[in-house]
Structure formats: C-alpha cells, structure tokens
C-alpha cells in the first residue's frame, strides 16, 4: 500500500497529514497527487463521495503555491455554503505547517464586508460559491488575472442550481494558462459538456466503476402507498434504534414538514434547507456532527458539503428523478471502511426507477417489508437492555437515594423486578403500535425481482371462509418459524385455494399451517401440482416476521 511520503509531498504538508492521523492516501489521492505535482495538464477526477477528493486537489496545490506572491493563485468553486466551509476547513488543516499561506472562504448568507476585508489583505486560495464570487468580481475586489489553478468541485450541481451564467462569467476572468481541475462523484452528460467546453484535453482519472455505488453499502426498498410514507419512515427508524442518518426529501417544504413531524413525535431530528440563515445551519450541523441529532432531513442541494463518515443509513423519503442522484446520496454512507444501508420508500409506480438504479449501480436492491409492532418492540427492548448493561454508574450521585429505593422494592424478588423493569420499556412500543395496520403493498412486481423456485400448495380455505391474501400471508408470518420465506402467486377460490412459497421452505409451511385454526376451521395444507400459466395475484418479496 502506498504511503503519503511516496506521493512527492513535502515535509510541511506531510507533517500536517500525519498529525491528522492519515498514513495512506485514498485511491483517488494516490492517482491525483503525483499527477498534479509533476504535470500541468487539465484533469477530470471521478470518485465516489467521501473518498478524499478535497485532499486530492488541496494537498498538491498547497505545496505548489508561491506564498511570497499575495495574488489569488487558486480558486475552488463549489455549489453551497456548507461545502465551501468544509473545503476551507480541510485546506487550512492540510496547510497548518505551510508558513504564510492564506485561505479565504466566500459565500452568500454572510457579511460580505468581512470577506472583502480578508481579500484585500491578500489570499492565496479562495474557496467560494458562484454567486458570491461573481459579486466580488463585480465589486473589483476579487482579481483572478494571475490565477494558476481553477478547481470545479461538484460542477454538475452548480449547473443544476442555475449557476451556469455565473460560472461562465467567472471563467472569463481567468487566464487561459490556468490549470483546470474538475472533481466529481459521477460523470453525467453535464460534466462531459463542462470538460469539453472549458478544459484543454483533460486527463481523466477514475477510481472504481463508473457511476457505481460504494461496495460496502447495502440497498433496500419498502413499498407502501404514498400517504403511508411517514408511517413507514417511523417504523424503519424505530426498528433501527442506533440509526444515524440523512433523510432525503424532494422539496424544501417537505423537508420542513417531515422534520417538524419527527420532532413532534419525539425523535432527535432536525432539517437543513435554503431558508435557514448560516448561523442556524451551523447550529444544526454541529448538533448532527456531534450526534446530538440522529436524523438530518435535507434536500440534495442543502446536503451538499455534509462530510460525515459514520452515517449508518441514507433514507430516500422520495426516490430522486435522476438515478445519478441516488448513487450520490447512497455514497454518503458506507465510508471509511464501514458498512451502510441505503433505504428507499417507494410506491408501485416507482418500481421502474428501482430497476434503473440497479442497472446504474450494478447492485441489487432488496425488497423489504415494513416491520411489525412485535419486531419493533423486540428490537427496542434488547437495545434498552444493552444500554442498561453498559450504563456508567456514578455511585456518588445515587447513593443517597439507594436506601429508599431498596426499601420500596424489597417486596419484589429478582425475577419479578426484572419482569417489571423489562415490561415498562416493552409496553411503551407495544402500546404505541397496538392495532397498527400492515402498510405494506402486496402487489404484482416485475419478474426481475423473482429469484427463487416456488412450490405450489393447496389449502382447504377459500372465499367462503372469508380468507383473503393478507390473511394467508399473516398465517404464514405467525405460524412458520423460518424467516425470509418468499411468497408467489395466491389463487383464492370458493372453498379452497392455492398459493406458492419458496420451494426450500415447503415442508416448514405445511408443518406450520397444518391443524392451525382459522375462523373455527382447522387448516389443512398439502402439495399441489404446478399450474402452468395459472392466473393469480403475485405477492413477491420476503415475508415479514
């Protein structure tokens, strides 16, 4: 494995990197740093989010800056305030021991007078958003005539956000001799057009498969009706008590609404969106980074620049219209060698989008079922027990109360005390979800998702017994111990019915259902002959427990 010392970086930069705890460059850094130190070619670098792109361009540029020259020598353009501040923070950390190097962030939503003052003092590297950069150029404060490096970070998003005119105006202020560096997580047509129009025979460096998802991210989807999305979100969060993630919404208003509902329901959540001031945004992001918030609700635009390595989940409250955006979202989890889960809440009309994402990501997206109240209560209960085991007891704090507590509970033996203690936590979720309806959609799905061979079974119940497809699935859930049984076609007839199950679990289903009562009748299940081309409702997916 290559070490940073082998990339050609000088001792000042290496000292800063070592102090930050980094020893080995990421794959994109390994390819980019030597190239930028040795050559002056324009460069397009493609790597997934969280792979160290700021270091890939920041480290070599820091080393190449002439600190004796107070002109702006490097300009980093990015789409949002958050990303601007994050890049600035990283560059300042990397240049800690590079004497005399100044970095200035400029962005909207902050006092421009402070930024003007900093630029007039002299700055070697300016990091900014297009709107504010253009404003400073028009005020004759920002001068780019001696610019040596132009970095376009998240250039596709800058175009999507309507910065095309600002971008072109800024580029016209830069010398043709500049070296242009474009860094992106994906390579859509917009990036290709930027490279063709603004760059000179750029070298393309790529890490990983083009437009593919991160290797250690698992992809799942839940299918519910559109008006059940919020219920599904809550159950997904409740069954993952240690969740630490971002919930992506389509619009600014939806972001506000979902965050408000989560907060009202007692979740550690908040939102970031364009209506927040920079101070408000900073407070929210500080709470999220320090894990005082478990859930951050955001739009794609507002989430640009969020750099957190420990996210367990990314949740698509709505699937994005562009599969590329899905890839970008999912790349926010599963970083730094850790695993992550990308969850999508969809309705039946979005199955087509799921297939598009699978094709682009080159990964399967597994159908899951929204968890039941029993599953949630059990998961929360054992999470609570685990917290009890690990709690740090400060005897100095509780000693004064212990005699009274021992006296109060003296009539309970150990087993009874534990039962009451556990029941208190268990009943909280059990009562909350009492009589909660099943919100999963059991509907025909493309054969693309059907992988197992099915056995066809006969059951002695039909429509006359008031049996429904949902009832049959519920009987399997309740009475068969095996998990993750896929259910195929269900044919409900007058006095009996047929249904398909994963062939590997045929005996388990027959044993589990046989002699089980339903509406006063004992159930009888036995193998039936396959029915080629038979019609019936198809209930694809792994059954719930």
Q: What is the pLDDT of residue 188?
A: 65
CATH number, domain of 223, equals 3.40.50.300
Give yes or no for residue 545 having a pLDDT over 50.
Answer: no
At 534 the pLDDT is: 44
Q: Is 271 left (phi over 0), alpha (psi -120 to 50) or beta?
A: beta
Whether residue 267 lies inside any domain: the answer is yes
Predicted pLDDT at 249: 92
Which pLDDT value is given to residue 408?
Answer: 87
What was the pLDDT predicted at 539? 45
Whether residue 438 lies inside any domain: the answer is no
In this predicted structure, the answer to whether residue 527 has a pLDDT above a threshold of 60 is: yes
Tell me, what's the pLDDT at 446? 44
- Token reading at 384: 């609570």
Whether 440 is covered by a domain: the verdict is no
Mean pLDDT of the chain: 84
Q: What is the pLDDT of residue 543?
A: 43
- Same domain membership, residue 532 and residue 420: no
pLDDT level of residue 358 (50, 70, 90 thresholds): confident
Q: Distance (Å, rounded) from C-alpha 278 to C-alpha 115?
A: 15
Domain of residue 151: give its range: 4-206
In a shared domain, residues 253 and 194: no
- Is pLDDT of 225 > 80? yes
State the pLDDT at residue 26. Answer: 84
- Please choose, from the candidates 130, 131, 148, 151, the residue with its C-alpha nearest in 3D space to the C-alpha of residue 72: 148
Q: Could you tell me if 267 and 237 are in contact, meaning their C-beta atoms sit under 8 angstroms apart?
A: yes
CB 199 within 8 A of CB 182: yes
- Residue 208: pLDDT band by 50, 70, 90 thresholds? low
Long-range contacts of 436-441 (CB under 8 A, 24+ apart): 436/372, 436/373, 438/370, 438/372, 438/470, 438/474, 439/224, 439/225, 439/228, 439/231, 439/232, 439/370, 440/222, 440/223, 440/224, 440/369, 440/370, 440/544, 441/223, 441/224, 441/225, 441/347, 441/348
- Does residue 129 share a domain with residue 198? yes
In a domain, 50, yes or no: yes
**Hey, which residues does 106 pair with through a beta bridge?**
128
The predicted pLDDT at position 160 comes to: 66
Q: Which tokens belong to 202?
A: 């750029």
% the chain with pLDDT above 90: 37
* Residue 237 and residue 145 share a domain: no
Same domain as 387, residue 279: no
Residues 342 and 198 both lie in one domain: no
- Asked if 177 and 74 sit in the same domain, the reply is yes
pLDDT band for position 96 (50/70/90)?
very high
Q: Which of 173, 206, 239 is the last residue of a domain?
A: 206
pLDDT at 392 over 80: no
Residue 73 pLDDT grade (very low, low, confident, very high; cuts 50, 70, 90): very high
Top-confidence residue, 297 or 353: 297
pLDDT the model gives residue 49:
61
Best-predicted range by mean pLDDT among 122-136, 172-186, 198-212, 345-359? Answer: 122-136
Q: What is the DSSP letter of 449?
A: G
**pLDDT at residue 161 tops 90:** no
pLDDT band per the 50, 70, 90 thresholds, residue 21: confident
Give the pLDDT band (50/70/90) at residue 483: low
Last residue of a domain, one of 403, 432, 461: 432
Q: What is the pLDDT of residue 7?
A: 87
Q: Flag whether 297 is in a domain.
A: yes
Quickly tell me which residue has 């047929």 as its tokens. 498
CB atoms within 10 A of CB 429: 20
Name the more confident of 446 and 56.
56
- Mark whether 39 and 188 lie in a shared domain: yes
pLDDT at 504 over 80: no
Number of domains making up the chain: 4
Q: Would you place residue 212 in the very low, low, confident or very high pLDDT band (cuts 50, 70, 90)?
A: very low
Q: Which helix (H) or strand (E) holds 358?
A: helix 351-361
Which H or E run contains 432?
helix 414-432
Distance, in Å, from the CA atom of 371 to the CA atom of 343, rounded to the nearest integer, reads: 14
Name the one residue in this structure whose structure tokens are 């509780």: 398
Contact between 54 and 87 (Cβ < 8 Å): yes
Task: Give the pLDDT band of residue 396 (cuts 50, 70, 90).
Answer: low
Name the more confident of 274 and 312: 312
Residue 69 lies in a domain: yes
Does residue 268 or residue 308 have the better pLDDT? 268
Asked whether residue 172 is domain-assigned, the answer is: yes
Q: Which two tokens stand for residue 286?
A: 């500080």
Q: What is the pLDDT of residue 424?
A: 75
User: How far apart (Å, rounded) are the C-alpha atoms in residues 155 and 79?
Assistant: 7
Nearest to 1 by CA among 43, 35, 29, 36: 29
More confident residue, 302 or 80: 80
pLDDT at residue 336, as a whole number? 66
Residues 493 and 427 in one domain: no
Is the same domain home to 377 and 339? Answer: no
CB-based contact 15:97 (threshold 8 Å): yes
Considering the domain architecture, whether residues 109 and 159 belong to the same structural domain is answered as yes
Q: Is residue 543 part of a domain?
A: no
Contact 343/220 with Cβ under 8 angstroms?
yes
Residue 132 CA to residue 537 CA, distance in Å, equals: 57
**pLDDT of residue 317 exceeding 60:** yes
Q: Answer yes or no: is pLDDT of 455 > 90.
A: no
Q: What sign results for the dihedral spanned by CA atoms 328, 331, 333, 336?
A: negative
Sheet holding 103-106, edge to edge: 103-106, 125-128, 74-77, 149-153, 179-184, 43-46, 203-206
What CATH number does the domain containing 515 carry? Answer: 3.30.70.330
| Predicted local confidence at residue 12, as pLDDT | 94
Tell me the pLDDT band of 540, cut-offs 50, 70 and 90: very low
* pTM for the full predicted model: 0.57
Supply 381's token pair: 């209960």
Mean pLDDT (whole number) for 466-487: 81
DSSP 62-125: HHH--TT--S--EEEE-SSHHHHHHHHHHHHHHTTTSTT--EEEE-TTS-HHHHHHHHHH--SE
Which residue, among 220, 189, 187, 227, has the nearest Cα to 206 in the 3D structure? 187
Query: If you average pLDDT over residues 206-210, what whole number do you get?
Result: 60
d(CA 232, CA 13): 48
With a cut of 80, say whether residue 398 has pLDDT above it: no
Residue 170 to residues 130, 145, 174, 338, Cα–Cα distance (Å): 8, 11, 7, 39
* Helices marked H in 161-277: 164-172, 189-198, 229-238, 252-264
Give the range among 221-230, 250-259, 361-370, 448-457 with minimum mean pLDDT. 448-457
| 194/304 same-domain check | no
Given a contact cutoff of 8 angstroms between Cβ atoms, the answer to whether 146 and 8 are in contact is: no
Nearest to 331 by CA among 91, 133, 28, 49: 49
Q: Which of 4-13, 171-180, 237-246, 373-382 has the lowest mean pLDDT?
A: 373-382
Question: d(Cα 212, Cα 231) in Å, to the nearest integer?
Answer: 31
Whether the per-residue pLDDT at 395 is higher than 80: the answer is: no
Nearest Cα to 333, choosing from 306, 352, 355, 301? 306
Q: Is the model's pLDDT at 37 over the cut of 60?
A: yes
CB atoms inside a 10 Å sphere around CB 169: 15
- Over range 135-143, report the average pLDDT: 94
Looking at residue 399, its pLDDT comes to: 78
Domain finish residue from 317, 345, 368:
368
């Amino acid at each position: 494995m290559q070490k940073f010392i082998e990339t050609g970086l000088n001792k000042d930069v290496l000292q800063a990197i070592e102090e930050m705890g980094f020893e080995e460059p990421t794959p994109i850094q390994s390819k980019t740093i030597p190239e930028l130190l040795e050559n002056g070619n324009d460069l397009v670098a493609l790597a997934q989010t969280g792979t160290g792109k700021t270091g890939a361009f920041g480290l070599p540029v820091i080393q190449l800056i002439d600190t004796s020259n107070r002109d702006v020598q490097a300009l980093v353009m990015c789409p949002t305030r958050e990303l601007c501040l994050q890049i600035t923070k990283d560059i300042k950390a990397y240049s800690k021991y590079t004497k005399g190097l100044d970095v200035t962030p400029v962005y909207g939503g902050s006092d421009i007078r402070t930024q003007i003052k900093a630029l007039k003092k002299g700055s070697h590297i300016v990091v900014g958003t297009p709107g504010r950069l253009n404003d400073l150029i028009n005020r004759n404060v920002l001068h780019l005539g001696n610019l040596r490096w132009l970095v376009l970070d998240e250039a596709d998003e800058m175009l999507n956000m309507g910065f095309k005119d600002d971008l072109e105006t800024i580029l016209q202020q830069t010398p043709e001799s500049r070296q242009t560096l474009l860094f992106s997580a994906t390579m859509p047509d917009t990036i290709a057009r930027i490279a063709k129009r603004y760059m000179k025979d750029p070298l393309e460096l790529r890490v990983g498969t083009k437009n593919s998802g991160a290797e250690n991210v698992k992809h799942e989807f839940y299918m519910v009706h559109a008006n059940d999305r919020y219920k599904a979100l809550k159950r997904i969060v409740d069954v993952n008590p240690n969740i630490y993630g971002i919930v992506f919404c389509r619009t600014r208003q939806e972001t506000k609404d979902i965050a408000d509902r989560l907060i009202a329901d007692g979740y550690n959540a908040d939102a970031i969106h364009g209506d927040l001031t920079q101070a408000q945004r900073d407070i929210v992001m500080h709470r999220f980074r320090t894990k005082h918030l478990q859930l951050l609700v955001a739009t794609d635009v507002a989430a640009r620049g969020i750099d957190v390595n420990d996210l367990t989940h990314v949740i698509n409250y709505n699937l994005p219209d562009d599969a590329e955006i899905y890839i970008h979202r999912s790349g926010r989890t599963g970083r730094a060698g850790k695993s992550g889960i990308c969850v999508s809440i969809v309705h039946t009309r979005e199955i087509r989008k799921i297939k598009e994402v699978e094709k682009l990501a080159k990964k399967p997206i597994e159908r899951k079922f929204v968890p039941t109240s029993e599953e949630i209560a059990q998961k929360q209960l054992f999470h609570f027990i685990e917290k009890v085991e690990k709690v740090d007891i400060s005897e100095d704090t509780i000693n004064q109360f212990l005699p009274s507590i021992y006296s109060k509970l003296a009539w309970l033996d150990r087993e009874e005390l534990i039962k009451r203690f556990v029941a208190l936590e268990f009943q909280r979720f059990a009562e909350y979800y009492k009589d909660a309806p099943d919100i999963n959609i059991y509907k025909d799905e493309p054969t693309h998702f059907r992988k197992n061979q099915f056995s066809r079974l006969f059951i002695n119940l039909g429509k006359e017994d008031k049996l429904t497809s949902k009832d049959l699935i519920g009987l399997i859930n309740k009475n068969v111990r095996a998990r993750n049984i896929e259910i195929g076609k269900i044919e409900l007839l007058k006095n009996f019915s047929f249904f398909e199950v994963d062939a590997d679990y045929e005996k388990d289903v027959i044993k589990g259902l046989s002699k089980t009562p339903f509406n006063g009748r004992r159930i009888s299940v036995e193998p039936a002959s396959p029915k080629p081309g038979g019609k019936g409702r198809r209930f694809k997916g792994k059954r719930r427990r």
